[in-house]
Amino acid sequence: MEKLILYIVRHGETVWNLEKRMQGRKDSPLTDLGREQAEKLRHSLKDIKWDAIYSSPLQRTHATANIIRSNQEIPITFRDELQEMCFGDWEGKLHQEIAEDEPQKYEDFWMSPDLYATGSGEDFFEVEKRVVKEIKEIIRQHPVGHILILTHTVVVKLLMAYFEQRPIEALWNPPTIQPTALCKVEIENEQVNILLHGDTSHL
C-alpha cells in the first residue's frame, strides 16, 4: 500500500447532545445509543488494521476510540489540538438559552461563521489554525497506512473544509456531521481524494 487513508470520525451521541447543550471543552458521557453507534462503526471497520489512532483527550472521543479500536493492540495517541472548539461561556448551556440571550452571536455562529466572535472562547479561524497544523503533522508522520482520528463536529467540519479548499463562510454547508459520522480521505502522491464525507451508512 503506497497511500494514506485518514478515517476522521465524530464521537458517539452524548448526554448533552440529547439535552441540546453546548459541550466544547466540557464533557458528558456517551449515551447507550452513543456506544451502540460506536459499536456499529467498529463492526463496519473491523477488517482494517490501524497503523495509528489519534483522539481528542475528552472522554466522549476517548470512549468512542476505545470501542472502535476493539482488541487491536495499538495505543491511542491523545492530541489537545483535536479537542472541540472552546465555546467559553456557552459551554453547558442549552442552545435555546444561548439563542435567546445572545441572538446575533448565535446566528453568526451558524449562519456567518466567518463573522462569529467571542470574548470567552475560540473563533473558527483560531480552531482552523490548530487543527490544520495537527493534520499536516499527522500526514507528515504517516505518509502511508490507515489512520483513525477521533474528534468533534467543528473540527471535522474544518478538516473537511481544508481538504475541500472551502472557505470558513461555507463551513456549515452539507453534509451534517452526525454522531459517529465517518469521513474518509485518501492521500496519494500529495493528491487528495475524498471517499466519504459525513457517512452514517453503518447506522
Catalytic sites, residue numbers: 11, 84
Q: Which residue has the cell 473558527?
A: 124
Phi/psi region, residue 87 (left: phi>0; alpha: psi -120 to 50; beta: rest), is alpha
Angstrom distance (rounded) from CA 23 to CA 59: 12
Angstrom distance (rounded) from CA 41 to CA 128: 26
Angstrom distance (rounded) from CA 5 to CA 165: 18
Contact 64, 150 (CB under 8 A): yes
Enumerate the β-bridge partners of residue 192. 187
Contact 159, 79 (CB under 8 A): no
Contact 24, 86 (CB under 8 A): yes
Nearest of 49, 51, 66, 72 to residue 11 by alpha carbon = 66
